């Protein structure tokens, strides 16, 4: 409990040891996944606990993974879907958040109440009716279907509204006097001044949709449309799914981008995902 | 510098029709409101309505059957197993991740060394692709080639079929759930801890709180109260939504031992296309989530905010 | 000895030496201020006295007992923090009771409900409640006992913090800028109140502040700290009138003391072409600094010639910002309002100087004695 003094390394050792042990357990699946992706099957099935491969089999495992399923395609699908979702979320949520935060109009309280109501509903709840709707319009198994339910983020509206409220009124008044319309105020004055919120929201949104399995599993049948999360399931369904080395190689490939992204921008990530706790 | 007068710009042409503030506000909110109704509120109401029908996709007509679906749920062994398992999952994963998460947060905040490193490591599972990591866990927990059983064998423990036996499968999923949620709890508690002014600890020590435990009881725990309540709700809801690991690893088996709410809802709705029945399951899921949030706000209202 | 003895305290953070062998002795019941600019080490020293930080070397004695290696809880001290550090989840009464509860009750007796069952708890609790009540009455916060800190004004919180220190008659009070979060009016009245409480309780007190007015008005003695050292320790009058160093002279007093570059000469001190009627015990030609407080000047028929550049009207007094004709150095004079009628910017004035109040410093800033004054003519 935060003692006021800074302990020496020796006194600090028990703390570091406990945390280190926990860290090893947390990292264990990553290490074994990576290790198995480098080993030939014979070594994976042998009785050894060694992490390092005796014979490097990385090329075979990874090339098999890329051969069996279009891993690159999955990754590109993931990037595309996340980007389009984020684009629409910002396009819809930011102007609405600005109106709720800075404009006075009849109905504002009602709109905000609806937003709060939306916050309470998990994304799985509207899934069935939306699915039925997409089926009726023949839009299942398409990029549209992958993106559609997520173009509105009530959480985004909420988060941006909180951020915009703290912007000074003078800033907006000055922009109006300079001749800007409300739309340009939103994109050229208000949003650039809430940049930390925007990046936090973006990381939250990207992590959520990159990792989402439920919705792609519901709407996608064709391998060509699979996102990384769904791609893993497709791979396991293939014959190669029984090849542990190749399966681990595929897992490494789909896990790596987000992990690398995270390690590069840790602070923003943690801030984004943690502040977005309200609705995940 | 020659003092040339600045060129005068012509005044901008007056807007052809200046929008009133209210009209602008409605225009700005329109896309969001439209999609909110179309994609969230409308479908959610439709879902409640559907849960009182017997609609099956592709079967044509639909009949209002009142509480029929709900009555059937009470008899449905798979659903009851899923409900029980989901609540058990929450009851195991939530307290353990909160207890361990608080402990780790206290340890990480208890010194300066490696603080950012530990935070990043513990947080890593939160941002990792869970399906892929579940696959890695499957390998780790594999009964014959899995490193976990091999490690246990060194201590003379007979191999355990972690994901294949109905005795162990839910516990194994809980362990993965703990692994997945821990970092989230750690980060939230760390934020709560840094918000506690360090002078309070100095004051507590001065006031005679000698042991770390006394300081924890006097300062840390009460001041973390709001954070803890928030973490409890968030973690409970995250746990209620358990789906990925079940879909990827067990498909609810063996013998419904790892069946959970969202997975039954998925199977009934999207594999068997029993929309009405699946809607009733979703409604139950929604009710549990709303109940949790209600409890949270009730507790928050009753206590005085002292942040 | 009783009181507090601080012996050779050193502390470094990395390569920076924050405290360089600081030693201080406080008599039993004394009120001593540590004053200095921010970053001078005063707060670090206070936290080392409190046991919240450990010194690299040196020793602390409180009330005749060596406490260097004891923890804060075992030093029998109380502290008032700058932001008061009240427990936000506890009522005022509970806040005041914490130091007593922690000491008078065993961990078992402290347990929320079960503790009441332990033998002796009820009697102890009654005694604690009585003492809390007494301390609250003394500070006139008896009517606030059921409130929580958020429901209090800044001044009320400050009183609760004082109460938490008073309730347990410790052997020393440590105060860390306790008035800095109050508005000016409240600060003035609380200053007096703290002094009165100190007088009534008679507890040795170390008071840290960056505000020289607080230090001068409240303390028995003042320790002026800068750069991790105590430059001077003395009564408020001593450190103001007889500063040991130029830095002390410059830190105390508002507006700041005027400093003039002068050189020793056989017949006085040379300020540009002018010879001042002061004799320094220094070889002719030595460069010195002459310090003249703003109140050492008076308007007169003759004296140092100066040009008025700016006038600040303060009510009873007037601050004259000017430039000396002798060497163009800027000066500030504090003049009684009554004598300044007709002064205007740009005017030439003659400033008579109270030479007995002049302070002389060598090139290192150490104080030099003035030789016995000679009634010499000035320019």
Domain that holds residue B273: 68-302
Of A24, A72, A35, which is closest to residue A249 (Cα–Cα)? A35
| Paired sense of beta strands C16-26 and C4-13, if any | antiparallel
Touching check for C71 and chain B: CB below 8 Å? yes
d(CA C332, CA B79): 88
CATH of the domain at C229: 3.40.50.300
Asked whether residue A278 carries a pLDDT value surpassing 80, the answer given is no
CATH number of the CATH domain containing C295? 2.40.50.140
What CATH number was assigned to the domain covering residues A67-278?
A: 1.10.3720.10
Question: Do C36 and C98 lie in a common domain?
Answer: yes
- The pLDDT tens digits of the residues spanning A122-175 come to 999 999 999 999 988 988 889 999 999 999 999 999 999 988 998 888 888 887
Domain region containing C335 = 259-368
Residue A219 has what DSSP assignment? H
d(CA C65, CA C173): 16
Q: What digits encode the pLDDT tens for the residues B3-52?
A: 555 656 555 554 444 567 888 899 999 999 999 999 999 999 999 999 99
- Of all residues in chain A, the percent with pLDDT exceeding 70 is 93
Q: Which chains touch A (3 or more CB pairs under 8 A)?
A: B, C
Q: Compute the distance between CA of residue C152 and CA of residue C144 in angstroms, rounded to an integer.
A: 8
pLDDT in the model for residue A50 = 77
Give the side-chain half-sphere CA count within 13 A for C303: 17
- C70 and C133 belong to one structural domain: yes
Tell me the CATH number at B179.
1.10.3720.10
* Residue that is last in its domain, among C246, C279, C298: C246
Query: Taking phi first (over 0 means left), then psi (-120 to 50 degrees means alpha), and beta for anything else, what does residue B62 get?
Result: beta
* Pure H helices in chain B: 21-36, 42-50, 68-75, 77-109, 115-127, 130-140, 147-154, 169-194, 198-206, 212-215, 221-223, 225-240, 244-245, 261-266, 275-302
List, for residues C310-323, the tens digit of each pLDDT value. 999 988 899 999 99
pLDDT classification of B80: cutoffs 50, 70, 90: very high
Contact at CB, C89 and B306, closer than 8 angstroms: yes
CB B208 within 8 A of CB B279: no
Give the model confidence (pLDDT) of B100-138 as tens digits: 999 999 999 888 888 889 989 999 998 899 999 998 898
CB B69 within 8 A of CB B279: yes
Most confident range, picked from A9-18, A242-251, C116-125, C290-299? C290-299
β pairing state of C258-265 and C287-292: antiparallel
Q: Is C114 on the interface with B (CB under 8 A)?
A: no
Question: Are C95 and C213 found together in one domain?
Answer: yes
The pLDDT value given to residue C379: 40
Residue C335 lies in a domain: yes
Residue finishing a domain among C195, C221, C246: C246
C206/C33 Cα distance (integer angstroms): 6
Low-confidence ranges of chain C (pLDDT < 70): 1, 112-114, 116, 371-379
User: Which residue reads 């879902």 in tokens?
Assistant: B47
| Largest pairwise CA distance in chain C | 89
Smallest CA–CA distance from B211 into chain C, residue: C73
C285 with C237, same domain?
no
Q: Which residue has the tokens 């709180």?
A: B209
Distance from CA of C174 to the nearest CA of B (A): 10
- Cβ contacts of C54 on chain A, cutoff 8 Å: 5
Query: Does one domain contain both C34 and C146?
Result: yes
Q: Nearest CA to B40 among A252, A144, C51, A154?
A: A154
Task: Give the Cα separation of C113 and C137 in Å (integer).
Answer: 28
β-bridge mates for residue A66, sequence order: none
pLDDT tens, residue by residue, B168-190: 999 999 999 999 999 989 988 98
Provide DSSP, C96-118: HHHHHHHHHS-HHHHSTTGGGGS
Q: For chain C, what percent of residues have pLDDT higher than 70? A: 96
Looking at every residue in chain B, the average pLDDT score rounds to 87
Q: Is B56 a member of any domain?
A: no
Predicted pLDDT of residue A7 = 65
Whether the CB-CB separation of A169 and A98 falls below 8 Å is answered with no
Residue C37 and residue C132 in one domain: yes
pLDDT given at position A169: 83
C-alpha distances (whole Å) from C284 to each of B50, C246, C292, C364, C377 are 106, 21, 21, 17, 19
Give the separation between CA B15 and CA A176, rounded to whole angstroms.
13
Q: Residue A103: which residues within 8 A CB-CB, separation 6 or more?
A: A182, B21, B22, B24, B25, B28
Question: How confident is the model at residue B11, as a pLDDT?
Answer: 54
Which of A122, A183, A255 has its CB closest to that of B129?
A255
Nearest to C31 by CA among C223, C243, C248, C186: C223
Q: Are C121 and C109 in contact (CB under 8 A)?
A: yes
Beta-bridge partners for C276:
C269
User: What is the predicted ipTM?
Assistant: 0.87
Residues of B with Cβ-Cβ distance to A84 under 8 angstroms: none
Give C155: exposed, middle or buried? Use CB within 10 Å, 0-12, 13-18, 19+: middle
Our count of domains for chain B comes to 1
Q: Where are the domains of chain A?
A: 9-56, 67-278
Residue with tokens 């559907």, as numbered in its chain: B50
H helices of chain A, in order, are 9-38, 41-45, 58-68, 71-102, 108-119, 127-136, 143-147, 154-165, 169-177, 182-184, 195-211, 214-219, 228-237, 244-264, 266-275
| Residue B50 in domain | no
Contact C35, C223 (CB under 8 A): yes
Those of residues 55-74 in C touching chain A at CB distance below 8 A are 72
- CA–CA dist A196, A265 (Å, integer): 13
Which residue from A2, A121, A251 is facing B110, i.e. has the nearest CB? A2
For A57, the token pair is 């089999």
DSSP state of C122: H
Domain boundary among the residues C246, C277, C292 is at C246
Q: Which residue has the tokens 């987000």?
A: A258
Q: What is the pLDDT of residues C52-92, one digit of tens each?
A: 888 999 999 999 899 998 888 888 888 898 888 888 888 99
Q: Tell me what the mean pLDDT of segment A99-112 comes to.
A: 91
In a domain, C19, yes or no: yes
B121 to chain A nearest CA, in Å? 6
Same domain, C264 and C242: no
Q: Which residue of C has its CA nearest to A2?
A: C52
Go through chain A and tell me how many residues it has: 280
If one counts the domains in chain C, the total is: 2
């Amino acid at each position: 409990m935060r003692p006021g003094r800074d302990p020496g390394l020796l006194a600090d050792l028990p703390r570091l040891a406990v945390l280190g042990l926990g860290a090893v357990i947390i990292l264990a699946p990553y290490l074994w996944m990576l290790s198995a992706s480098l080993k030939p099957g014979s070594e994976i099935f042998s009785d050894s606990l060694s992490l390092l491969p005796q014979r490097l089999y990385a090329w075979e495992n990874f090339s098999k993974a890329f051969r069996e399923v279009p891993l690159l395609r999955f990754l590109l699908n993931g990037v595309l879907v996340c980007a389009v979702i984020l684009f629409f979320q910002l396009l819809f949520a930011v102007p609405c958040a600005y109106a709720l935060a800075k404009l006075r109009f009849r109905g504002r309280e009602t709109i905000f109440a609806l937003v709060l109501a939306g916050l309470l509903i998990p994304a799985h709840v509207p899934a069935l009716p939306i699915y039925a709707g997409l089926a009726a319009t023949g839009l299942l198994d398409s990029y549209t279907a992958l993106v559609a339910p997520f173009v509105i983020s009530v959480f985004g509206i909420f988060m941006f509204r909180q951020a915009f409220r703290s912007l000074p009124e003078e800033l907006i008044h000055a922009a109006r006097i300079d001749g800007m319309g409300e739309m340009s105020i939103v994109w050229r004055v208000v949003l650039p001044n809430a940049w930390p919120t925007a990046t936090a929201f973006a990381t939250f949104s990207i992590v959520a949709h990159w990792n989402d399995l439920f919705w792609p599993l519901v709407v996608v049948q064709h391998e060509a449309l699979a996102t990384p999360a769904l791609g893993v399931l497709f791979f396991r369904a293939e014959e190669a799914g029984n090849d542990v080395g190749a399966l681990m190689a595929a897992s490494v490939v789909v896990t790596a981008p987000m992990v690398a992204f995270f390690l590069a921008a840790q602070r923003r990530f943690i801030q984004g995902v943690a502040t977005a706790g309200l609705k995940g | 510098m020659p003092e040339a007068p600045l060129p005068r710009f012509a005044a901008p042409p007056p807007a052809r029709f200046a929008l009133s503030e209210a009209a602008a506000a409605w225009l700005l909110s329109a896309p969001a409101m439209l999609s909110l109704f179309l994609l969230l509120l409308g479908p959610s109401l439709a879902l409640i309505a559907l849960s009182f029908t017997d609609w099956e996709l592709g079967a044509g007509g639909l009949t209002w059957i009142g509480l029929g679906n709900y009555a059937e749920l009470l008899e449905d062994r798979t659903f009851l197993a899923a409900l029980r398992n989901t609540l058990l999952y929450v009851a195991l994963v939530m307290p353990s991740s909160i207890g361990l998460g608080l402990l780790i947060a206290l340890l990480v905040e208890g010194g300066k060394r490696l603080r950012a490193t530990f935070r990043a490591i513990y947080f890593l599972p939160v941002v990792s692709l869970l399906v892929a990591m579940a696959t890695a866990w499957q390998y780790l927990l594999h009964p014959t080639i899995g490193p976990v059983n091999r490690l246990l064998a060194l201590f003379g423990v007979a191999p355990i079929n972690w994901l294949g036996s109905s005795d162990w499968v839910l516990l194994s999923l809980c362990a993965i759930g703990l692994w997945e949620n821990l970092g989230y709890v750690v980060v939230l508690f760390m934020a709560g801890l840094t918000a506690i002014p360090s002078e309070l600890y100095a004051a507590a020590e001065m006031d005679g709180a000698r042991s770390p435990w006394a300081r924890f009881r006097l300062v840390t725990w009460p001041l973390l109260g709001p954070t803890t309540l928030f973490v409890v709700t968030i973690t409970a809801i995250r746990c209620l939504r358990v789906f990925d690991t079940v879909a990827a690893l067990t498909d609810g088996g063996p013998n419904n031992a790892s069946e959970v709410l969202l997975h039954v809802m998925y199977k009934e709705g999207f594999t068997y296309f029993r929309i009405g029945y699946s809607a009733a399951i979703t409604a139950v899921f929604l009710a549990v989530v709303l109940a949790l949030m209600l409890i949270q706000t009730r507790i928050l209202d009753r206590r005085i905010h002292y942040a | 000895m009783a009181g507090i003895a601080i012996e050779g305290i050193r502390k470094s953070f990395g390569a920076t030496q924050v405290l360089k062998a600081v030693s201080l002795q406080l008599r039993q019941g004394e009120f001593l201020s540590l004053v200095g600019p921010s970053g001078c080490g005063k707060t670090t020293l206070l936290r080392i006295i409190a046991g919240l930080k450990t010194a690299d070397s040196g020793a602390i004695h409180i009330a005749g007992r060596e406490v260097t290696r004891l923890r804060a809880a075992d030093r029998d001290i109380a502290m008032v923090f700058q932001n008061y550090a009240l427990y936000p989840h506890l009522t005022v009464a509970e806040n005041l009771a914490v130091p007593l509860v922690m000491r008078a009750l065993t961990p078992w007796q402290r347990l929320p409900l079960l503790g009441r069952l332990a033998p002796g708890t009820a009697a102890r609790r009654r005694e604690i409640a009585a003492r809390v009540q007494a301390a609250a009455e003394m500070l006139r916060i008896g009517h606030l006992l059921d409130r929580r800190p958020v429901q209090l004004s800044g001044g009320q919180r400050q009183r609760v913090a004082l109460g938490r220190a008073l309730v347990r008659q410790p052997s020393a009070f440590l105060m860390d800028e306790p008035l800095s979060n109050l508005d000016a009016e409240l600060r003035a009245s609380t200053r007096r109140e703290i002094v009165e409480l100190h007088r009534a309780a008679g507890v040795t007190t170390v008071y840290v502040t960056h505000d020289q007015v607080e230090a001068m008005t409240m303390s028995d003695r003042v320790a002026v700290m800068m750069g991790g050292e105590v430059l001077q320790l003395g009564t408020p009058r001593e450190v103001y009138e007889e500063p040991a160093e130029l830095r002390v002279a410059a830190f105390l007093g508002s507006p700041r003391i005027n400093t003039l570059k002068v050189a020793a000469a056989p017949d006085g001190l040379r300020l540009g072409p002018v010879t001042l009627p002061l004799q320094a015990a220094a070889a002719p030609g030595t460069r010195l600094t002459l310090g003249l407080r703003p109140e050492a000047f008076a308007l007169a028929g003759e004296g140092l010639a100066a040009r008025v550049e700016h006038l600040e009207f303060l009510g009873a007094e007037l601050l004259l910002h000017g430039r000396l004709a002798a060497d163009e150095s800027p000066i500030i004079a504090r003049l009684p309002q009554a004598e300044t009628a007709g002064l205007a910017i740009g005017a030439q004035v003659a400033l008579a100087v109270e030479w007995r109040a002049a302070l002389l410093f060598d090139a290192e800033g150490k104080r030099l004695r003035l030789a016995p004054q000679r009634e010499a003519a000035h320019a």
